[in-house]
Amino acid sequence: MEFLTLLYAVSALYLCFLVWRFFDQRRDQECYILDYQLYKPTNDRMLGTEFCGKIIKRTQNLGLNEYKFLLKAIVSSGIGEQTYAPRNIFEGREANPTMLDGITEMEEFFNDSIAKLLDRSAISPSEIDVLVVNISMLATIPSLSSRIINHFKLRNDVKVYNLTGMGCSASLISLDIIKNIFMSQRNKYALLVTSESLSPNWYSGNDRSMILANCLFRSGGCAILLTNKRSLKHKAKLRLKCLVRTHHGAREESYNCCVQKEDDQGRLGFYLGKNLPKAATRAFVDNLRVLSPKILPTRELIRYLVMSLIKKVKQSSAPKSSSGGGGSSTTKSPLNFKTGVDHFCLHTGGKAVIDGIGMSLDLCEYDLEPARMTLHRFGNTSASSLWYVLGYMEAKKRLRKGDRMLMISFGAGFKCNSCMWEVMNDLEDPNVWDDIIDDYPPETLTNPFLEKYSWLNDVEDPNTYELPDFLK
pLDDT per residue over 375-399, tens digit each? 999 999 999 999 999 999 999 999 9
Calculate mean pLDDT across residues 51-71. Answer: 81
Q: Which of 431, 408, 423 is nearest to 172 (CA)?
A: 408
Q: For residues 333 and 366, is the Cβ–Cβ distance under 8 A?
A: no
DSSP single-letter state for residue 46: B
Lowest mean pLDDT among 15-24, 244-253, 263-272, 290-299: 15-24
How far CA 302 is from CA of 290, 305, 309, 360, in Å, comes to 16, 5, 11, 20
| C-alpha–C-alpha distance, residues 406 and 345, integer Å | 6
User: Percent of the chain beyond pLDDT 70?
Assistant: 88
Angle at 73 between CA 214 and CA 69, to 5 degrees: 95
Identity of the amino acid at 173: I
- Which range among 15-19, 172-176, 437-441, 463-467 shows the weakest confidence by mean pLDDT? 463-467
| Average pLDDT score over the chain | 88
- pLDDT of res. 326: 41
Catalogue the E-assigned strands of 60-158: 130-135
- Residue 373 in contact with residue 340, Cβ under 8 Å? no
**Can you name the residues that pair with 410 across neighbouring β-strands?**
416
Res 4: pLDDT:
67
Please give the torsion angle defined by the CA atoms of residues 434, 435, 436 and 437, in that order, rounded to the nearest 10 degrees.
40
How far is Cα 112 from Cα 306, in angstroms, rounded to an integer? 53
Q: Residue type at 214?
A: N
Mean pLDDT of all residues in 155-176: 95
Question: 70 with 211: CB under 8 angstroms?
Answer: yes
Check whether 303 has a pLDDT greater than 80: yes
Q: What percent of the chain has pLDDT over 90?
A: 66
pLDDT digits (tens, 9 = 90+) for 404-433: 999 999 999 899 999 999 999 999 999 999
- What's the predicted TM-score (pTM) here? 0.90
User: Nearest to residue 31, comparing CAs of 222, 178, 243?
Assistant: 178
| Residue 309 confidence class, pLDDT cut points 50, 70, 90 | confident
Q: Which amino acids are annotated catalytic?
A: 168, 247, 343, 347, 376, 380
Q: Report the pLDDT value the prediction gives residue 322, as an integer from 0 to 100.
A: 46
Report residue 186: phi and psi, to 5°: -95, 160
Q: Which has the closest alpha carbon to 297: 343, 341, 340?
A: 340
| Amino acid in position 439 | D
Q: Region 298-315: what's the mean pLDDT?
A: 86
